[in-house]
Amino acid sequence: MAAGSACDDGAMETSSPRSVTVRRESEGVYIATNAAGAELRFGQADDAFGNVELLLAAVAGCSGTDLDVMTSRRAEPTAWEATVTADKIGGDGGNVLRNIVVTFRVEFPEGEDGDKARARIEPALKAAHEKTCTVSRTIESGTKVTLRAE
């Protein structure tokens, strides 16, 4: 259940815990399972997404959800694709991604409904970036990550 609390600026926040469980399949290869039981294989295998690729896909998927919902209510897209690029930087300060760019290529049919959908592209991306995409907003906020062993 979501719990509410006031932010420093007086706005209300809600908390809705999320979790996944990750188990080892083999060296460097893992299976993530969510609360619904869905599974995703990832890691260092030729036929699996790498860790960084999962993060990039999550950014596109999260932002793309707003784009999809806000535009497809007007017209069904004839093409919908997102490409995500980033620079992986390594050095004395550790590995980090910089310059994450998500480029959406979305097409709609000609006509009034397609025009209405096209008009919603930029507002949808703005909403995702400024408010609703938890993934990219978390990255940009620099949220602390705690690693611990039991």
DSSP alpha helices (H): ranges in the chain? 51-72, 112-119, 121-127, 134-141
Domain count, the chain: 2
In a domain, 149, yes or no: no
Residue 59's contacts (CB-CB under 8 Å, 6 or more residues apart) are: 84, 100, 102, 133, 135, 136, 139
Tell me: do 43 and 64 sit in the same domain: no
pLDDT at 1: 45
Whole-number Cα distances in Å, 84 to 43, 50, 100, 124, 131: 19, 14, 7, 17, 20
Domain that holds residue 96: 50-142
Tens-place pLDDT, residues 16-59: 999 999 999 999 999 999 999 999 999 999 999 999 999 999 99
- pTM more than 0.75: yes
